[in-house]
Structure 1
Amino acid sequence: MESIVLIVHVLLAAAIVALVLLQQGKGAEAGAAFGGGASQTVFGSQGSKSFLGRLTAIMAAGVFATSFALAVFAKQKAESVNDAGIPAAEVIESAADAQQELPALEGAGAEKPASDIPVAE
Structure 2
Amino acid sequence: METLVWVVHIIAALGTIGLVLMQHGKGADMGAAFGSGASGSLFGSSGSANFLSRATAVFATIFFLTSLTLTYFSSHRNKTTGLMESHSVMQPAVPADAAKQVVPVVPAPAGVDGSKSGEIPK
Band the TM-score falls in, shorter-chain normalisation: 0.5 to 0.7
* 44-53 or 57-66: bigger deviation: 44-53
The aligned residue for residue 3 of structure 1 is 3
Instruction: Quote the residue 1:60 is aligned against.
Output: 60
Q: Distance in 2 between matches of 1:82 and 1:36?
A: 60
1:75 aligns with 2:75: yes
> Contact 2:108/2:118 (CA < 8 Å) preserved in 1?
no
Q: In the TM superposition, what are the counterparts of 1:1-121 in structure 2 within 5 Å?
A: 1-77=1-77, 80-81=78-79, 103-106=104-107, 119=117
Rounded to whole Å, the distance in 2 between the matches of 1:64 and 1:19 is 16
Q: How many residues align?
A: 96
Structure 1, unmatched stretches of 5+, are 87-97, 109-117
- Structure 2 CA distance for aligned equivalents of residues 40 and 104 of structure 1: 91
* Aligned counterparts of 2:56 and 2:62: Cα–Cα separation in 1: 10
TM-score by structure 1 length?
A: 0.65
Over residues 51-81 of structure 1, what are the superposed CA-to-partner deviations in whole Å (9 max), with x where a residue is unaligned? 111111111110111011101100111xx21
Q: How far apart are 1:120 and its partner, in Å?
A: 6.1
1:43 to partner: Cα distance: 1.1
Instruction: Say whether the 8 Å CA contact 2:39–2:45 is kept in structure 1.
Output: no
Relative distance call for 1:49 and 1:119 in structure 2 (3 A) is: farther
CA displacement at 1:40 relative to structure 2: 4.8
Superposed displacement of residue 37, structure 1: 1.2
Check the 8 A contact 2:19/2:52 in 1, yes or no. yes
Please say which structure displays the higher CA radius of gyration: 2
C-alpha RMSD of the superposition: 3.1
Higher relative contact order (CA 8 A, sep 6+): 1
Identity %: 43
